[in-house]
Amino acid sequence: MKKSVYFILIIALLLPAAIFAAGAKEQAVDETKPVTIVYWTHDDAARTKLENELIEKFQAANPHITVERSTRSAQKQIELVQTAFAANEGPDMFNLPIENQYAYITNGRVAPIDYVAAGFKSKQDMLDKYMDGILDTVTVDGEVYGLPLELTNWAIYVNKKVFASAGLDAEKDYPKTWEQMADVSEKLVIRDGDILVRRGFDFRYPYYLIMFVPMVEQLGGSLLSADGKKAIINDDAWIKALTFMQEWGPLGRNLGSTTYQAPRYLFNADNNDIAMAHTGLYQEGRMKTENPKFFESDDWMVVPFPVFENAVKDVASAYYGHFFMVNADSDPAVQKATWKLIGFLLSHGEDYLTRGGNLIQPTKALLASDTLKNMPYSEVFINDMARANMVYYGSDSAEIQTQIRNAVESVMLSGESPQKALATLRSAVQEIIDERH
Amino acid sequence: MGTKQYKGIERKQARWGFAFVVPSLVFFSVFNFYPILNAFYTSFYDRRALSKLKPKFVGFGNYVRLFDPARAANPLSFYNSLKATLTFTLGTFIPLLIVSLLLAILISNLKSQKAKRFLQISYYTPAILSSVVAATIWMLIFDPRGLGNQWMNLILNTPGVDHKWKTDPVMLQVSTMLVYFWKYIGYFVILFITGLATIPQTIYEAATIDGANKSQTFWRITLPLLKPTVVLVSIMAMLQCLKTFSTQYMFYTNGSTRAPINVITFNIYITGIQDQYLGRASAMSVVLFVLMLVLTLFQFRTTKSGENIDY
């Protein structure tokens, strides 16, 4: 009896190893068989409606292809895609912010574009159709690994009524510099003791690579040296930017903080609780849905990302992209079908702009279109993009952003000195990039 | 002959018993035992989540890195995670143990069955609430304009003061403890009520006849006879606190700073999932496992839980 008990116990304990070892077997290639594309993306009601409609058309034209589209929150999408790929169970098609997606290219997880399947005559034909340089982001060793679902930058939305209620004229008094932003916010803010009942402006925490690093760059600093080997360039610039954030927070002038509700969620309601929000062109679509009266009114406008008074560089908030990519481990027939689907979806750029969540797909045709030019304040976004950099998107970008977040929050919320926070930041980021090299 | 026959029946019964146990054994092996072994194994490698390359063997490199004194100054270091975990565990598990015991005694002594049931359900409800719902409720309470500040200012007569529930490092730790306490108190109250119900009423009657007052009854009868439950609850509560994750995650995603609440499980999540260092995250989980094992053994030793209670 004892022996049989031990035998069954050993089998039971070793069983999982056998199951997991058998996980990675190769699949046979058969391009004629019906294929199913598993497509994972993040929530966006307007885009979901449009894509479901387009996918239905695509399936009707390609009866052997079935598309299984599923959505989840943007944060969950980042975690789920990575966990699935780590277990070799990634979806056939997915999109992520480029700062999270780039590691999939460098780790050989995604397949290069099948230009013909995606609807282009050649690689050059594809490059000619997109904004110059935009595909460099997803090009490694001459191969292009993704096509942009959206390219987004943020500018400052202004509620003119809130300005007027504080005796300001938004058209004239909107802040052009960060110093003015703090002073104007001081006039706009309403407090109940220490508690902010109305804010003038507040930052878009915790997207520090997108909004804080450009502020440092305006002052002549940068995250990394030109060769990418040294972290935190120009201490004065970083200390000035950190000091500005310290002054902004609850331990300084108390103009905003990380734990109040994000301004972009408050702005559309027009409830006299926020005057300015830092967000993208897509906000217009959301405003139109959530508060059409406010959207149609003349009570809001969009202005450029401010610069410091003594800025040495005119840099706007960084832009970022979401790219469609295809799993390199998917069956070749599925990969081909997926690039065909991506090509089909992206051939409807104007639909994505007008009714798919106001997304800008950076094709030359769309950027030159009247549809984009006729959207309210689209010129502000286009001009800001021209003076902006792509967000830092190395494979370690999430880790670096966490360290910047820690530095900013330690000065804003814990009262640490900018010098000490900078020293900790430098040591942490240097270690991260040293490990990469 | 009779003994032989008896052995045959016993063997037959044992075989069936074993057949019933095998499915759960397989389930445990796949979902618990294998990940534990795999974490031990992975902790000796530099394994990245997305890399297809063969992981590089680094021996104890991941462990050395975790305990490198040069990194202790960084508020996000593993040293500070250990500190945050111990602070949270002590600050939560002791009040959980004491208050749940007191509440259980209070509820058990109620005469009205309706009131008993109502209080049991009331205390237990948070334990079955989803983390998302709990997060939404508490984030609204701890919002600077929320009920947390309003109640505190009413009680302390300090109008307009922001108590910084989600931003001040100490208040942030207190807030996570409060949320956790609220979520799990009911669970431990129910365990204590079950333990109290097993103490025979005759012992209390005998004590009353002997002239024992309520305090004497509690210290001389209830508490000693409840010892197995106290040991069970204290170990469970401590292990639960050491494993805390969703509360800290909820605060972090709602804008709180990470350092004061960067407990080990949260550090494992950031290191393994966000930063993709699976080897390093596995080493952290092994350290947490050892910590839990040592503290549990310590509690067993100090409470001598092996003693049986005979009535």
Contact call for residues A178 and A244 (beta carbons, < 8 A) = yes
> Which residues are within 8 A (CB) of A166 and not within 5 positions of it... i.e. 6 or more apart?
A187, A188, A275
Contact A104 B50 (CB under 8 A): yes
Phi, psi of A223 (to 5 degrees): -70, -45
Mean predicted lDDT score pLDDT of chain A: 91
Arithmetic mean of pLDDT, A33-37: 92
Q: Please give the ipTM for the structure prediction.
A: 0.79
Distance CA B242, CA B261 (A): 12
Query: Range with the lowest mean pLDDT among A169-178, B165-174, B279-288, B300-309?
Result: B300-309
**Topology annotation, domain A35-152+320-386:** D-Maltodextrin-Binding Protein; domain 2 (3.40.190)
* Average pLDDT of the segment spanning A228-244: 97
Asked, for residue B17, whether it belongs to a domain, the answer is no
Q: Structurally, how many domains does chain B consist of?
A: 1
Q: Is residue B96 part of a domain?
A: yes
**Contact call for A12 and B166, based on CB within 8 A:** no
For the stretch A268-271, contacts whose Cβ atoms lie closer than 8 Å and that sit 24 or more positions apart, written own/partner, are: A268/A294, A270/A159, A270/A161, A270/A294, A270/A299
Q: Compute, in degrees rounded to 10, the torsion defined by CA atoms A229, A230, A231, A232.
A: -140
Pick from B49, B256, B270: CB nearest A86: B49
Helix (H) or strand (E) holding A157: strand A154-159
Q: What is the DSSP letter of A273?
A: S
Interchain pair B270, A402: CB under 8 A: yes
Q: Is the pLDDT of residue A91 over 60?
A: yes
Residue B310 lies in a domain: no
Q: Whole-prediction pTM value?
A: 0.84
Q: Residue B199 is encoded by which pair of tokens?
A: 């103490």
The residue ranges of DSSP E strands in A304-405, in sequence order, are 320-326
Q: Establish if B87 belongs to a structural domain.
A: yes
Q: Is the pLDDT of residue A360 over 90?
A: yes
Quote the pLDDT of residue B121. Answer: 87
Please check whether residue B254 is in contact with residue A259, taking contact to mean a CB–CB distance below 8 angstroms.
yes
Strand partners, A195: A192
Residues 6+ apart with CB under 8 A from A385: A151, A153, A316, A319
Classify residue B284 by burial, with Cβ atoms within 10 Å: 0-12, 13-18, 19+.
buried
For residue A396 the two structure tokens come to: 């370690």
Compute the half-sphere exposure of residue A26: CA atoms within 13 Å on the CB side of its CA: 5
pLDDT band at B4; cut points 50, 70, 90: low
Lowest-confidence region among A66-75, B13-22, B263-272, B287-296: B13-22
Query: What residues of A are in contact with residue B51 (Cβ under 8 Å)?
Result: 107
pLDDT in tens, A381-407: 999 999 999 999 988 898 999 999 999
Q: Do A82 and B273 touch (CB under 8 A)?
A: yes
- Minimum Cα–Cα distance from B167: chain A residue: A413
Q: Does some domain include residue B74? A: yes
Mean pLDDT of A166-185: 97
Q: Quick check: A432 and A396 in contact, CB under 8 A?
A: yes
Q: Give residues with Cβ within 8 angstroms of B289, minimum separation 6.
A: B36, B39
Q: With bands split at pLDDT 50, 70 and 90, how would you rate the model's confidence at B305?
A: low
Is B257 inside any structural domain? yes
Q: Could you say which residues from 58 to 117 on chain B have a Cβ atom under 8 Å away from some Cβ of chain A?
A: 73-76
List of residues 6+ apart from A80 with CB closer than 8 A: A40, A72
Assess if residue B13 is contained within a domain. no
Question: Taking the domains of chain A in order of start, what are their residue ranges?
Answer: 35-152+320-386, 154-318+396-436
Give the residue on B whose Cα is nearest the Cα of A431: B71
Identify the CATH number of the domain in which residue B242 sits: 1.10.3720.10
With contacts defined as CB-CB under 8 Å, which chain B residues touch A103? Answer: 50, 276
Q: How confident is the model over B27-77, as pLDDT tens digits?
A: 988 888 899 999 999 999 999 988 888 999 999 999 999 999 988 888 899
User: Which pLDDT score, from 0 to 100, does residue B6 have?
Assistant: 63
Q: pLDDT tens across B145-162, in order?
A: 899 999 999 999 998 899
Closest in B25, B142, B253 to A12, CB measured: B25
Strand-pair category, A300-303 with A154-159: antiparallel
Q: Is the pLDDT assigned to residue A15 strictly greater than 70?
A: no
Q: Using DSSP bridges, classify how beta strands A222-224 and A300-303 pair: parallel, antiparallel or unpaired.
A: unpaired
Q: Is the pLDDT of residue B113 over 90?
A: no
**B30/A15 CB distance under 8 A:** yes
Looking at residues A114-130, what average pLDDT do you find?
95
Q: Which residues of A touch B29 (CB under 8 A)?
A: 12-13, 15-16
Average pLDDT over residues A37-44: 95
Phi/psi of residue B302, nearest 5 degrees: -70, -30
Fold match, A35-152+320-386 / A154-318+396-436: yes
Whether the per-residue pLDDT at A7 is higher than 80: the answer is no
Residues 6+ apart with CB under 8 A from A128: A364
Contacts of B159 (CB under 8 A, 6+ apart): A192, A193, B153
Task: Decide if pLDDT at A157 tops 70.
Answer: yes
Burial state string for A295-320 with b = 16 or more CB within 10 A and e = fewer than 16 = beeebbbbbbbbbbeebebebbbbbb
CB A159 within 8 A of CB A274: yes
What distance in Å separates residue A177's CA from the closest CA in chain B?
26
User: Which residue range forms the structural domain that includes residue B152?
Assistant: 41-303
Comparing alpha-carbon positions, the chain A residue that sits nearest to B144 is: A195
Distances (CA, A) of B274 to A82, B135, B246: 9, 21, 16
The Cα–Cα gap between A393 and A99 comes to 4
Q: Is A50 buried (19+), middle (13-18) or exposed (0-12) by CB count in 10 A?
A: buried
Q: pLDDT category, B120, cuts 50, 70, 90?
A: confident
The dotted CATH code for A154-318+396-436 is 3.40.190.10
Q: Is B277 contained in some domain?
A: yes
